[in-house]
């Protein structure tokens, strides 16, 4: 059958950067797109961020540009999928109990959630006054208001919060939090130039282009210290200081330090909506909690079900450029699939 692209509809589950890029690219091929988003706006987790590494581009600028490119797609906001039926080669998707989307193909772009830091009670998030997360810090960068951040002179960052951690069943590395910690440490140092900043890390994973340069600048231009060691305990003293106990594993010595602010680098997990979406579209979830791919090398955007594809961070942690590339890749797969029907 000839693939008349303008008679085909693709349902995109999730309106984050992957979903938006899919819609933009499918539109250029002539497909009709329907984006089904659970939140009240497009952009997903990008809406929680201020600036992005390595260039410091504003997250909102990216959201705006991507949203502009999706114009012409049908958009359901504040919407959930109630049920899905696969009949005569089409997916009939009931959205929020009232609308029915009839799709020839579906792309799952449900993205990720940040690990809820309060689950690591030993770090004291939501217990002590001056313990915040990477996401809280981005909100501070945006608005410059947070009662927990009061001209701090000693600041600590804890890497790998909820990642590489068997105790919370997350063995995977979230990949981006090392460079995010370094980026955020530099930004804090620029706001509070007299502050002393220490990053407590297990390994530093600075894999991307330009990341080593950021790390170099953090050390030699901004004087940020990096201590290899896991934080074992956090408490609060009578002056509301954050008391951190850790082990310096390079020097094999225990450390006890009092800080004015502690930032927890929450890692990435699959979206809390993933298990329901997986069930509705009969898509497999892997041991790490992310969606499984037919092949992680050769068929990374397929879940092995006819007409169902997947993209973005729903299959694991990715940078924004990787997410956008993944979205462009899945569009080609969807196009080939529909052309061969």
Chain residues binding ligand SF4 by CB under 6 A are 159-160, 163-164, 173-175, 177-178, 202-203, 205, 265, 267
Apex 216 CA angle, 136 and 212, nearest 5? 80
Q: Is the dihedral of CA 151, 157, 163, 167 positive or negative?
A: negative
Smallest distance, ligand SF4 to C-beta of residue 249, A? 14
Rounded to the nearest 10 degrees, the angle between the axes of helix 134-143 and helix 177-191 is 40
Smallest distance, ligand SF4 to C-beta of residue 181, A? 6
Smallest distance, ligand SF4 to C-beta of residue 121, A? 19
Cβ closest to ligand SF4, residue 173 vs residue 218: 173
CA atoms within 13 A on the CB side of 302: 15
**Cβ atoms within 10 Å, residue 88:** 5
Cβ closest to ligand SF4, residue 68 vs residue 248: 248
Cβ closest to ligand SF4, residue 19 vs residue 156: 156
Q: Which residues, in sequence order, are CB contacts of 261 under 8 Å at separation 6+?
A: 130, 132, 148, 149, 152, 154, 155, 156, 242
CB-CB contact of 134 with 184 (8 Å): yes
Cβ closest to ligand SF4, residue 9 vs residue 134: 134
Q: Which residue carries 């080939």 as its tokens?
A: 336
Cβ closest to ligand SF4, residue 130 vs residue 175: 175
CB-CB contact of 176 with 211 (8 Å): no
Smallest distance, ligand SF4 to C-beta of residue 183, A? 12
Smallest distance, ligand SF4 to C-beta of residue 205, A? 4
SS3 (DSSP) at 223 = coil
Reading across the β-sheet that carries 99-103, which strands appear in turn?
81-87, 90-95, 99-103
Cβ closest to ligand SF4, residue 205 vs residue 318: 205
Smallest distance, ligand SF4 to C-beta of residue 178, A? 3
Cβ closest to ligand SF4, residue 12 vs residue 178: 178
Smallest distance, ligand SF4 to C-beta of residue 9, A? 38
Q: Is 28 exposed, middle or buried (0-12, 13-18, 19+ CB in 10 A)?
A: exposed
């Amino acid at each position: 059958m000839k693939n008349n692209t303008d008679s085909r509809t693709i349902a995109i589950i999730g309106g984050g950067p992957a979903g938006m890029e899919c819609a933009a690219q499918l539109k250029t091929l002539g497909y009709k797109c329907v984006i089904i988003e659970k939140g009240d706006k497009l952009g997903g987790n990008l809406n929680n961020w201020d600036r992005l590494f390595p260039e410091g581009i504003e997250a909102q600028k990216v959201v705006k540009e991507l949203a502009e490119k999706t114009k012409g797609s049908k958009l359901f906001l504040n919407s959930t999928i109630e049920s899905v039926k696969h009949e005569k080669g089409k997916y009939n998707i009931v959205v929020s109990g009232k609308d029915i989307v009839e799709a020839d193909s579906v792309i799952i772009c449900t993205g990720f959630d940040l690990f809820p830091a309060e689950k690591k009670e030993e770090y004291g998030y939501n217990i002590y006054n001056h313990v915040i997360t990477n996401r809280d810090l981005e909100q501070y960068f945006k608005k410059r208001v947070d009662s927990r951040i009061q001209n701090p002179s000693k600041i600590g960052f804890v890497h790998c919060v909820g990642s590489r951690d068997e105790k919370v069943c997350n063995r995977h590395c979230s990949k981006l939090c090392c460079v995010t910690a370094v980026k955020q440490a530099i930004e804090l140092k620029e706001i509070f130039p007299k502050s002393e900043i220490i990053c407590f890390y297990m390994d530093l994973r600075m894999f991307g282009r330009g990341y080593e340069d950021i790390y170099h600048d953090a050390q030699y231009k901004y004087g940020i210290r990096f201590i290899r060691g896991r934080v074992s305990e956090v408490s609060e003293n009578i002056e509301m200081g954050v008391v951190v106990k850790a082990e310096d594993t390079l020097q094999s010595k225990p450390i006890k330090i009092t800080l004015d602010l502690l930032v927890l680098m929450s890692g990435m997990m699959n979206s809390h909506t993933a298990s329901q979406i997986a069930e509705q579209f009969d898509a497999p979830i892997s041991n790490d909690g992310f969606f499984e791919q037919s092949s992680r090398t050769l068929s990374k955007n397929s879940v092995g079900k006819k007409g169902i594809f997947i993209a973005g961070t729903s299959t694991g942690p990715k940078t924004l450029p990787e997410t956008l590339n993944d979205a462009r890749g899945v569009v080609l797969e969807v196009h080939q699939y529909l052309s061969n029907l």
